[in-house]
Amino acid sequence: MSLIVMKFGGTSVADINKINNVADIVLKELKSNKIIVVLSAMAGVTNKMQEYINNIESNERIENDLILTSGESVTIGILSSILKKRNIKSLPLLGWQVPIVTDDNHQKAKILNIDKKRINTFLEFNDVLVIAGFQGVDLSGNITSLGRGGSDTTAVAIASAVNADRCDIYTDVDGVYSADPNIVSKAKKIPQMAYEEMLEMASTGAKVLHTRSVELAMKNNLVLQVLSSITKKSGTLILDEKNLIEKEIVSGVSYSMAESKVTISGIPDKPGISAQIFGLLADQNINVDMIVQNISQDGINANITFTVPNNELNLAKETLKNNLNKINYKSLQTDENVSKISVIGMGMMSQSGVAQKMFKTLADNSINILAISTSEIKISVLIDERYTNIAVKSLHEAYNLINKK
Ligand code: ADP
Ligand code: ASP
Ligand code: MG
């Protein structure tokens, strides 16, 4: 008998009908397998919880995670009841009951340990475990959350811990596409992709998978399948590069509007200054992404531009302002209306001209580039947020990714 982990996202559990549909899918797989189901909250519920937190301006990390993770209790309760009505031995479990132990970095906690033995014992007495995604418990017993979209990571971490035969991520699209299908209607489905490509796509904004879930799958060599809970079409397999049949030069274009640009001008141009700035930000757990430094005309002062997640911008500003006398900069400017556009592909490693095509395409559309960053298989540029759609669409076309069917 095989063991399968099946994760269903918010749209797949958005109402009772949809949860009944999830029960149907689980039942089909149950014929020859034991199943662990991981669920998100109903679509929109976690956003609503975040709104409550914003309304009361709560900075209480522990309470905020209690509020944020509440939606998953509802969905696992409903699915498990439905399964029991259908005479299935089902056990609903919150993160702390598994337990999924995390660090105490609330709102972006990392999973430290999952009790494999206990899961196996639960499986001995039940056919299906229905586990709440997105949540864990820290070593002091407080509830933590793994960051928005974190249920994917719960599923992959559990699948890795119990050595599952498969980990299927059911969502509202039937696979990973060459661009967000909600923006580019002619995007094409990617049948297979390497972990590295998916990792770059996820970390540059393709929210179809939580970035850490891909990291974990890669580390544990766990094949992921992304598929729809509505259509029965084949999905996307994410696997080791060695098993890829074809390597595209560019396989996808992604975008993220969740970052802000910070520019610090008039910093003394001397050794150690970058280490100091980014050290201060790292101490506050702020994720810095693109970095550009230029020396000013006088050769004495420098300017540094970098990006941080929108929800960490205030903390970044505060940190820099509080340390003005240490860094000695002249001015600090921020801009939330920027967007990061990325092109990704394994074949880029052995092909020249990919970056040039990106810059030319943007130039042809009169889009100005504010910052650039690259890896072996990715090129990202920062642009004015207003041009996001046109940039994604024109790059998708320029790299010939359009679905011709
Ligand atoms: P779930 O609630 O099931 O976790 P998400 O909303 O987190 O679903 O992720 C699915 C969404 O990801 C899709 O509806 C789609 O708009 C978005 N998305 C962004 N980029 C891509 C891409 N390259 N391929 C597929 N979906 C993408
Ligand atoms: N419900 C959580 C969120 O909306 C976790 C998830 O959906 O993966 O972020
Ligand atoms: Mg998601």
d(CA 168, CA 71): 21
pLDDT at 105 over 90: yes
* Nearest atom within ligand 1 for CA of residue 43: 2
Q: Where are the domains of the chain?
A: 2-172
Could you tell me the pLDDT band of residue 63, with boundaries at 50, 70 and 90? very high
> Residue 94: which of 129, 50, 139 has the closest Cα?
129
Q: How far apart are the first and last CA of the chain?
A: 39
Mutate to test the pocket of ligand 2, among 37, 70, 75, 148 (most ligand atoms within 8 A of CB): 148
Instruction: Please enumerate in sequence order all residues whose Cβ is within 8 A of that of 279, keeping only pairs 6 or more positions apart, or say none.
Output: none
Share of the chain above pLDDT 70, in %: 99
Count Cβ atoms below 10 Å from residue 345 Cβ, excluding itself.
Answer: 26
Q: Mean pLDDT across the stretch 102-126?
A: 96
Ligand nearest to the CA of 155: 2
CA 9 to ligand 1 center in whole angstroms: 10
Out of 134, 143, 158, give the residue to mutate to test ligand 2, the one with the largest number of ligand atoms within 8 Å of its CB: 134
Bigger pLDDT: 311 or 93? Answer: 93
Exposure string over 94-120, b if 16+ CB within 10 A, otherwise e:
bbbebbbbbeeebbbbebeebeeeebe
User: Is the pLDDT assigned to residue 204 strictly greater than 90?
Assistant: yes
Average pLDDT over residues 339-353: 90
pLDDT value at position 299? 72
> What pLDDT was estimated at residue 393?
96
Question: 242-246, 373-377, 387-391: lowest mean pLDDT where?
Answer: 242-246
Q: What is the pLDDT of residue 22?
A: 98
Is 134 touching ligand 2 by the criterion CB < 6 Å? yes
Dihedral of the alpha carbons of 333, 334, 339, 343, in degrees to the nearest 10: 60
Distance in Å, CA 132 to ligand 3 centroid: 14
Atom of ligand 2 nearest to the CA of 46: 4
Q: What is the C-alpha to C-alpha distance for residues 364 and 298, in angstroms, rounded to an integer?
A: 33
φ, ψ at 204 (rounded to 5°): -105, 10
301 — pLDDT class (breaks 50, 70, 90) = confident
Supply the pLDDT for residue 318: 96
Structure confidence at residue 403 (pLDDT): 82
Phi-psi region of 69 (alpha: psi -120 to 50; beta: other; left: phi over 0): alpha
State which CATH number among 2.60.40.650, 3.40.1160.10, 3.40.630.30, 3.20.20.140 fits the domain covering 2-172.
3.40.1160.10
